[in-house]
Amino acid sequence: MNTSTTVHNKTCHVGVDVSKEKLQIDAGDLFRGVIPNTPAEIAKHLKALQKKAAPHVCCEATGPYDRALVNTCHTLGLPVSRLNPARTASFREAMGIGAKTDKEDARVIRLFAETFAPATVPPPDKTRNMLRQLHLLRDALVAQHTVLSNLRATLDLPAVRKTLDAELRGLDARIEKLEAHIRTATDEAGPAFSGLVDALDGIKGVAMLTATKLAAHVPELGTLTRRRAASLVGLAPFPDESGPRDGPRHIRGGRKPARDALYMAALSASRHNDVLAGVYKRLMARGKHHNVALTAVMRKLFLYANLVAAQHLRSLESPAAGTPPGDASQGAPSTDA
């Protein structure tokens, strides 16, 4: 933080509606207006706010366009929060705010922050940030590969198929190169992070790519309670009850990239992990839907990954720490979800 800036004890919640080119800011009576979405302009206006109060910047987590805002806040040492858009939308409805403009969006974000004092985003971790972006690119290439593969199956002209085959080979090479880059970035991150990935990779059903994705998107891994773990990745079942109605429970929210990684791991674990395959078969035998059984496997797999990560963290503090609970090559305890 700039040491020449006057320090204030009074917190000023700053609502920011983010778009690609601009930021709509609402800091109450201190400042309201639109600024360009560039680090220089953001820093200039935040420093001006610092002279009047202690800003706590809040925006919705709606995409990559808040990166300059979040990074600038961390550079200046300011607290910054990324809010769940569904919660701010519900808050807007509860407040009876019908207008939908950038100015109103920024005001709603500020009012929400003043009401609930949201948790702040920790400063970025270089390794995790790199792995998140590498995985994001890999996911996009894999999706493109799937689209072209499906298209190829519908075409019969040799010349067209030849072109598609060349595109698919190119995508295969790029995906393979990205995976090598992910492995290199993990190895170069140091023994603490690479050891965590190795520990997760040791769980049957969790491969290196899943392990790096979980480690990148869930830095809290190893410190979570069972309830918090399930909620964090959107695997906590929410009831749907009203009067005599008792509807089926549904999962929602959470960190989608981590949940997507767990889905692929659970597909493997439900077949090849002795413990989790047993859980899956018992639930299916009880008449549960495939997706319900697989979600239970995902939840158990993540809970066990959290236990393995906790054991790894303890081993860093004391090499003589005990052995992991259960068999890391198999997975979570066999109790039904």
* Residue 309 to residue 324: CA distance in whole angstroms: 9
pLDDT band at 10 (very low <50, low <70, confident <90, very high): confident
Q: What are phi and psi of 82, to 5 degrees?
A: -110, 120
Residue 66 tokens, joined? 């808040």
pLDDT exceeds 60 at position 181: yes
Of 108, 102, 100, 20, the C-alpha closest to 58 is: 108
Sketch the domain layout of the chain as residue ranges: 11-116, 126-189, 191-337
Phi-psi region of 34 (alpha: psi -120 to 50; beta: other; left: phi over 0): beta
pLDDT tens column, 227-244: 889 888 988 887 777 777
pLDDT band at 63 (very low <50, low <70, confident <90, very high): confident
pLDDT at position 82 is: 94
Q: What is the DSSP string of 175-186?
A: HHHHHHHHHHHH
Q: What is the DSSP string of 186-199?
A: HHTT-HHHHHHHHH
Q: Which of 7-22 are b and which e, b meaning 16 or more Cβ less than 10 Å from the residue's Cβ? A: eeeeebbbbbbbeeeb
Q: Are 119 and 81 in contact (CB under 8 A)?
A: yes
CATH of domain 11-116: 3.30.420.40
What is the topology classification, in CATH, of domain 126-189?
Methane Monooxygenase Hydroxylase; Chain G, domain 1 (1.20.58)
* Residue 64 to residue 62: CA distance in whole angstroms: 7
pLDDT tens column, 254-291: 889 999 999 999 999 999 999 999 999 999 999 999 99
Of 217, 220, 307, the C-alpha closest to 262 is: 217
Amino acid in position 127? T
Distances (CA, A) of 103 to 28, 32, 33, 138, 147: 12, 9, 8, 36, 39
Q: Are 207 and 274 in contact (CB under 8 A)?
A: no
What is residue 37's three-state secondary structure?
coil
* Residue 251 to residue 302: CA distance in whole angstroms: 15
R_g of the chain computed on alpha carbons: 23
What is residue 58's three-state secondary structure?
strand
* pTM for the whole structure: 0.78
Ranges 117-126, 138-147, 212-221, 322-331: which has the least confidence? 322-331
